[in-house]
Amino acid sequence: KCISMEPKFPGSYHDLGLCYLALDDEDKAQELFEKAIEIEPTYLDAYNNLGNILQRKGDYEGAIEQYIFALGLDKATWKTQNNLGNAFRELGKFNEAVQFFEQAIELNPTGLEIIHNAANTYGEKSDFPAAIEKFERALELLPAGPVSISNLAIMNHIMGIEDKTADYIEQ
């Protein structure tokens, strides 16, 4: 209805794309995000969501392209930084991934998902002290958080550090 009333309003295409995405129709959602960008070439959320679709489809390079373009529009978006980190992580480019996760954390220091993403990526690149530091930071935000506790137990075990899992659970 909104599109028929104002066919040149990019927000209607974007929002309809989100609806199709919620219905798992990625192709239709992609088409609508691309239409929103066609109408408004600086539509940051449309680039982000288009990148998310490409990433879900396994086109990580295409996703990275969209996210980098979005960062050119606004560098202060923690969501875009986090999305870039995830795409680089999927490609096994862990150094690039943690760089973007760290930038996202600077912009959103209480973002538990971002902190977990960074911690897991540090673990994947065998930087276990950095992974432990991030999981401990996550526990400061969510004491007794099961994801953080279980991952800390794994990291401490790998490092040969006395298992402190019981200490975290008892807090």
What is the structure's pLDDT at 171? 56
Closest CA to 45 of 61, 58, 32: 32
- Find all residues with CB under 8 Å of 103, minimum gap 6, and list them: 78, 81
Give the rounded percent of residues in the chain with a pLDDT score beyond 90: 77
Tens of pLDDT, residue by residue over 44-59, are 999 999 999 999 999 9
pLDDT in tens, 8-27: 999 999 999 999 999 999 99
Checking if the pLDDT of 61 tops 90, the result is: yes
Q: What value does the mean pLDDT of the chain take?
A: 92
Task: Tell me the pLDDT tens digit for each residue of 98-124.
Answer: 999 999 999 999 999 999 999 999 999
**Structure pTM?**
0.87
Q: Is the pLDDT of residue 70 over 80?
A: yes
pLDDT grade for 4, boundaries at 50, 70 and 90: confident
A 10 A CB-CB count for 116 gives 20
Nearest alpha-carbon partner for 8 in 32, 30, 40, 33: 40
Q: How many helices (H) and strands (E) does the chain have?
A: 11, 0
Query: Given this model, what pLDDT does residue 168 score?
Result: 64
DSSP code of residue 161: P
162 pLDDT higher than 70: yes
Identity of the amino acid at 65: E
Q: Is the predicted pLDDT of residue 144 greater than 90, yes or no?
A: no
Contact present, 42 and 10 (Cβ < 8 Å): no
* Number of residues assigned to the chain: 171
SS3 of 67-136: the string is HHHHHHHCCCCHHHHHHHHHHHHHCCCHHHHHHHHHHHHHHCCCCHHHHHHHHHHHHHCCCHHHHHHHHH
Q: What tokens does 143 get?
A: 């004491």
